[in-house]
Chain A
Amino acid sequence: NAGVTQTPKFRILKIGQSMTLQCTQDMNHNYMYWYRQDPGMGLKLIYYSVGAGITDKGEVPNGYNVSRSTTEDFPLRLELAAPSQTSVYFCASSYSIWTHLTNYEQYFGPGTRLTVT
Chain B
Amino acid sequence: DAKTTQPNSMESNEEEPVHLPCNHSTISGTDYIHWYRQLPSQGPEYVIHGLTSNVNNRMASLAIAEDRKSSTLILHRATLRDAAVYYCILMASGGGADGLTFGKGTHLIIQP
Using CB atoms and an 8 Å cutoff, list the residues of chain A in contact with chain B: 4, 31, 33, 35, 40-45, 48, 50, 56, 58, 90, 92, 94, 96-111
Please give, as numbers and ranges, the residues of chain B lying within 8 Å of A107 by CB-CB distance. 46
Across the interface, do B97 and A42 meet the contact criterion of CB distance under 8 Å? no
Using CB atoms and an 8 Å cutoff, list the residues of chain B in contact with chain A: 30, 32, 34, 36, 41-46, 49, 87, 91, 93-105
Across the interface, do A90 and B93 meet the contact criterion of CB distance under 8 Å? no
Q: By DSSP majority rule, is chain A's interface helix, strand, loop, or mixed? A: loop
Tell me whether A33 and B46 are in contact in the complex, defined as CB-CB below 8 angstroms, given that A42-B105, A96-B94, A101-B94 are known contacts.
no
Question: Which chain B residue shows the least CB distance to A113?
Answer: B41
Residue from A31, A35, A96, A111 in contact with B42 in the complex, judged by beta carbons closer than 8 Å? A111
Across the interface, do B99 and A58 meet the contact criterion of CB distance under 8 Å? yes
Nearest CB of A to B78, in Å? 22
Nearest CB of A to B11, in Å? 18
Question: Which chain A residue shows the least CB distance to B43?
Answer: A108
Across the interface, do A90 and B44 meet the contact criterion of CB distance under 8 Å? yes
Please give, as numbers and ranges, the residues of chain A lying within 8 Å of B43 by CB-CB distance. 4, 90, 92, 108-111
**Complex Cα–Cα for A99 and B46 (A):** 23
**Complex Cα–Cα for A98 and B97 (A):** 10
Across the interface, do B102 and A48 meet the contact criterion of CB distance under 8 Å? no
